[in-house]
Chains A and B, each alone.
Chain A
């Protein structure tokens, strides 16, 4: 790339960041931006093999570049972050993640039982070292040699470099900005109840424990807050405020537990921590993207207390029009579902996209995106996605 091209990409990236920021803050823009949620679908679309793409960074880079060359998206959710398989392979052990020719999956697992939760919280590193890893790897654990550790660590470094490299490729060569800072101090927000569901107990055990061991779980979540959430909140209050020129959002978080919690449990286990965190962002005038897995519609009005520009909900399954009614202060990311992308005609896709732009984006507050990740090869027809990308790039509001 020559200097002029580099400058053009830099300008395009800045323009896109501004588009995302403006729409998130309900400021009218010339067009609606598209933050594409294509994950492993990219690999199939590029004609690459999924197992190869997941284990060979060059293949994954080819898939990502093929996607960015063919689909003019303003943002891309995933540029290869699922490629951790080599680390486990180098370690000589099977992990929870697995892949086939068609899909990536994760086996059911839980790192704790209800009896060991507080031990975990007391010293997570010690618990991981003394309990989790020995249990996960069984007899293999005490036979790991320094060579195996070194090979695995080398693969981990290669993986880390690859993520950084792909972020740079997207930004510098395609003008595609990053979603939010990936700084653990501000970026990786995981609430206690979410950690319990995703890693520590699993959905079934958590559901049962919410009834059988309510007080203990509450104590866990409060202590988790003290340890993990409070320092983050403090950092937000002490931060310099919005990073308007660098990222599309100042923070990004994923919520899953609202899918199992009833209203009383939501108010007890998730809302107190979430509210304090959002209060901090609102106070600083920062913009947060929340990916709401499943449906969060029934809790939507709770978020409406925040001023426009604070929260953008990336909706996985909720209808964006219904959500706008329920929480008019929250910007929406979404609108495209795999069912339409996979089965509708190009004309139907464009008509739907136009409706989204006209009704949700004209006054600001809307970013086009796929709700569910595009993962499998039948999740979208290439022609449909291409037509939507072209339409939204050219359609003036």
Chain B
């Protein structure tokens, strides 16, 4: 197993090459599967860096998320399930009255590559569902996504619902998406905000550490 080659294949978005490496691991009874997964995650980090530098753009991130998922599926049978998600569980969703999921899905792929087990609640998710899930699963990190300006109201409603449930101080909440700015973050009462998936990952990692 050539770890650097896997990192490069993921970073360069060489889909066929990446799948070949994954299949090779499975042909060898899963030998080196843990390192392969780490290599994919490292490659994904480089994808994020290239996005920040302007070499890659949103379409590349969508594609990267797609091939990372597929690569992980290939080696999944050989993964033991221990220590894959070192930062634990978190919630991600698009808030009520907003059906956009592309940004959310990019962020999910990056968060998973960044060591989180992401509970993706989907789109158009009402505040109570988010609060109940956090409560039942004991989750402390919540990422709320939205594209429409209407989503800002729903983000606020969601954070109010956490307050009403007496849980606001138990969770950290990050908001992200097109209408989000520093002012919006403050006005909805979130702890952090992000426009790039990279920032979302680093903020959540810092909270989880």
Interface residue ranges, A against B (CB under 8 Å)? 100, 102-103, 105, 107-108, 203-204, 206-208, 210-212, 259-263, 265, 294, 298, 317, 338-339, 342-343, 372, 375-376, 378-379
A-B contact pairs, 19 of them (CB 8 A): A102-B97, A107-B99, A108-B99, A204-B105, A206-B59, A207-B59, A210-B63, A211-B63, A259-B57, A260-B58, A261-B59, A262-B57, A262-B59, A263-B55, A265-B59, A339-B181, A339-B183, A343-B187, A378-B152
Neighbouring A residues of B55 by C-beta, 8 Å: 262-263
**C-alpha spacing A105/B179, complex, angstroms:** 17
B97 touches A378 (CB 8 A): no
- Is B26's CB within 8 Å of the partner chain A? no
A103 touches B150 (CB 8 A): yes
Neighbouring B residues of A259 by C-beta, 8 Å: 57-58
Q: Which residue of A lies closest to B101 (CB)?
A: A108
Q: Secondary structure at chain B's binding surface: helix, strand, loop or mixed?
A: helix
Add 15 more A-B contacts to A211-B13, A265-B57, A294-B178 (CB < 8 A). Answer: A105-B99, A204-B102, A207-B63, A260-B57, A260-B58, A260-B62, A263-B54, A263-B55, A317-B178, A339-B184, A343-B187, A372-B179, A375-B150, A376-B149, A378-B152
What's the minimum C-beta distance from A194 to chain B, rounded to whole angstroms? 13
A338 touches B62 (CB 8 A): no
**C-alpha spacing A204/B109, complex, angstroms:** 14
Neighbouring B residues of A376 by C-beta, 8 Å: 148-150, 153
**C-alpha spacing A261/B181, complex, angstroms:** 24
B54 touches A375 (CB 8 A): no
Neighbouring A residues of B207 by C-beta, 8 Å: none
Interface residue ranges, B against A (CB under 8 Å)? 13, 15, 54-60, 62-63, 66, 97, 99, 102, 105, 148-150, 152-153, 178-179, 181, 183-184, 187
Neighbouring A residues of B152 by C-beta, 8 Å: 378
A207 touches B149 (CB 8 A): no
What's the minimum C-beta distance from A323 to chain B, rounded to whole angstroms? 16
B59 touches A260 (CB 8 A): yes
B187 touches A212 (CB 8 A): no
Q: Which residue of B lies closest to A337 (CB)?
A: B181
A203 touches B62 (CB 8 A): yes
B149 touches A203 (CB 8 A): no
Q: A108-B99, A211-B15 are in contact. Are A262 and B149 (CB under 8 A)?
A: no
